[in-house]
Structures are given as C-alpha cells and as structure tokens.
Structure 1
Amino acid sequence: MTDIGYARVSTREQNPDLQHDALTNAGCIKTFTDVASGAKADRPQLAAALAYLRPGDVLVVRQLDRLGRNMRHLIDTVNALHERDVQFRSLRENIDTTTASGRLTFHLFAALAEFERDLLRERTAAGLTAIAGRRARGRNGGRPRKMTPEKIAVARQMYASQAFTVEQIAQTLGVTRGTVYTHLDRATA
C-alpha cells in the first residue's frame, strides 16, 4: 500500500508548503500539487494523481476541500477510487477509508450531503410555488413603499407652495429627506 498525496492552492500567491509537510509526515511518497480554484473542473495534477494510483494505494489530502469542488464531486471522486480498489484519507477530518469506521464516516458525510441537497431542492420548489401564488393574486412581494401616491402628491404640493423645507416635508410624511428628493426629482424628470 502506497500513500500518494494531493495538495491544492487557489492562487500562485498561496503557499502549499503546509499541505506538503502534512502529507510528507503522513507517509506520502509522492505529492501532486495543483494551483487552481476548487471550483475549476480542470485540475491537471489531480488527473495525474488519479492516473498514478494503483489498486491498494491510498490518496491522501490534508483536508477534504482540497480534493472536491463540492460535496457531490468529493463523493463521486472517492467512489471512483473505491471502484478501482484505491482508498482515501483526509488528515484533518480523520477520514480513512482503509478502516471500517473511516468508510462509515465517509458514507455518513455523503448521506448528510445528499440530505442537505434534497432539503435545498424542496425549499427552493416550495419558495417558487409560493412566489407564483402571490403573483397570481396580484402581490409582487417586497417591502411596502413608504411613499404612497397620496404622500407623493402631498409632498409635491408642499414643495410647490415654497412654504415648507424639504426637512419639514420629510418629517410630516415620516420619511427621509432623500426619499422626498427622489420623488420630487421624478416629478421634474
């Protein structure tokens, strides 16, 4: 069983030395390093590491987010490794699929991630349905406007009389001076 390390930093300004030291101390004989955002699908050194691995090897990372773009990608990658008889180990999270408890931990992470995705999908669908229902009833949502058409008419009349300052108009209507100016500017535009 050979331990192969994978490290990733997002930018050239970041230093992968901390990851390299942890992987070396964990017994990795070789480490592949990418300089790429975690969101990028194209990570040539990850592809090289995956190609280098042989049955019985262990892919080691310092922490989970170095390997996967997101939980789904991480789970897919580890499952693909498992199909090739390659194990996985994350040092920070103490996940080691060479042990039964490590496999259980990883599968719990995977199940929780899937559960979270399903909940998000359900909440999104419920929210979209609620928005569609409100729109069908003529409600577009959002915060109610402070300046009703009646208040706008009063503000314009008060301003046109030149007997009131903008500050006085704002206090009378219970709004800010900026709100009054916004609606007065619309009247002159």
Structure 2
Amino acid sequence: MKIGYCRVSSQDQREDRQIEALKQQGVEKFFTEKISGQYMDRPKLKEMMNFVREGDKVYIESISRLARNTLDFLNIVKELSAKQVEVVSLKESIDTSTPQGKFMLTVFGALYELERDSIKQRQLEGIQVAKAKGTQFGRPKIEINEQFVQEYKMWKKELQTATSAIKKLGLSRSTFYRKVKEYEKSIS
C-alpha cells in the first residue's frame, strides 16, 4: 500500500501542496498533521507507524516533513525498515528500496539538520547584535509609579477594591498582585 505522510509546522500553514504531490504518486492513505517536526511525539506520525505493514511504501514530499534532525529521521527510517516498509522522498528523489537511496537518505538527513542548526545560530547572532544596539525584547517592564502607590494605598485602606485599582491602573490581575508583592518587598 502507498501511504503518504504530510506535515506543516503551524495551524495557519496548509498541506495542500504536499498532498497533491503525493496523490500524483498514487498514494492511497494519508496521515497529515500540523505540528513542528522537531518533536517526535506527533499523533499522526505514531498512527502511521502503527498502521504500516510489510511491503508498504511511505511517501513524503521531503525529508524535512518526516523529521528535523538526523537522529530522529534515521530512527524513523530504521523502524520502518525493520517492518520492511520502504520510504520514498519526492523532493530528494530517494527510494530506500535501493542501496543508493539508503545512502542518500542519510546524507540528506544530515544536511537538513545542518541547515536547521545554521538558522538557529544566525537567529541567536541576530538577537545578540540587536541587544547590543539596545533593542528591547519582550513586554516592557511595568514600573511602580506614583499612581500605582496611590491606588495601592487606597486599596490597602479598603477605600477601593482590588478590581477598581486594577482597572484604574490598566493592569491584569496577575500583574497587579505581582507588583503589590514587589512594592511591599521594597518598602519593608
């Protein structure tokens, strides 16, 4: 049986292109999911691994759809091979039913992992450069100002509710109470 595995990384991405490419290969059953490839705990991947039987062929659009690092990729292929299931990757023109295909599969798996690690490294370098230039990341820190102190004192004297103080300050409940702890610690 020809089985297709399709994966995209996020909910807003579509797997249509992959499905269409696999349909052209005569794929009969599809397992599709929207989840990062860096995780091995993928429901549809597990379902496919349990479904396949001896003589089946698993079709993927590219190696990166099956796994994002070499070790995971090779483990999946090894598990499929133990079941006598072949893997065909369309983008890389690889078929594990041949010795050359098995060799190329390993090489491409390593290249994808190198590419992913290189992207991560460039991102980290970019973040370091941005931080050195003073770029702030994340939400801006909420400072305790005079208005906070006034609203806090009114709340402590029971002249207003916490909900009222929170609305006046424009804070979330959790932020308000975190700032209360921070303020009380600073005055003790």
Classify the TM-score, shorter chain: 0.5 to 0.7
Look up the match of 1:58.
57
Query: Structure 1 73/29 Cα, relative in aligned 2: closer, same or farther at 3 Å?
Result: same
Look up the match of 2:14.
15
Aligned with 2:41: secondary structure?
coil
User: What percentage of aligned pairs have identical amino acids?
Assistant: 38
Residues 1:28 and 2:36 are matched in the alignment: no
Amino acid at match of 1:72: L
Inter-partner Cα distance in structure 2 for 1:107 and 1:40: 19
Deviation at 1:112, TM superposition (A): 7.6
Query: TM-score, normalising length from structure 2?
Result: 0.56
Aligned with 2:3: secondary structure?
strand
Q: Counterparts in 2 of 1:85-104, with a 5 A limit?
A: 85-104=84-103
Inter-partner Cα distance in structure 2 for 1:14 and 1:91: 20
Amino acid at match of 1:79: K
Inter-partner Cα distance in structure 2 for 1:57 and 1:5: 11
**Which residues of structure 2 form unaligned runs of 5+?**
114-188
User: Deviation per CA, 1:27-48, whole angstroms, max 9, x where unpaired?
Assistant: 1101100110112232101111
Q: Is the 8 A contact 1:6 1:33 kept in 2?
A: yes
Deviation at 1:110, TM superposition (A): 6.2
Aligned with 1:27: secondary structure?
coil
Query: Structure 1 107/11 Cα, relative in aligned 2: closer, same or farther at 3 Å?
Result: closer
**C-alpha RMSD over aligned residues:** 2.4
Amino acid at match of 1:20: I
Aligned with 2:20: secondary structure?
helix
Query: Structure 1 15/85 Cα, relative in aligned 2: closer, same or farther at 3 Å?
Result: same
User: Deviation per CA, 1:1-58, whole angstroms, max 9, x where unpaired?
Assistant: x210000011111010000001111111011001101122321011111111000101
Look up the match of 2:47.
48
Q: Counterparts in 2 of 1:14-163, with a 5 A limit?
A: 14-109=13-108
Structure 1 runs of 4+ aligned residues shifted over 2 Å read: 106-114
Aligned with 1:88: secondary structure?
strand
Q: Is the 8 A contact 2:69 2:109 kept in 1?
A: no
Inter-partner Cα distance in structure 2 for 1:66 and 1:113: 11
Q: Is the 8 A contact 2:86 2:96 kept in 1?
A: yes
Q: Is the 8 A contact 1:72 1:113 kept in 2?
A: no
Inter-partner Cα distance in structure 1 for 2:67 and 2:112: 13
**Which residues of structure 1 form unaligned runs of 5+?**
115-189
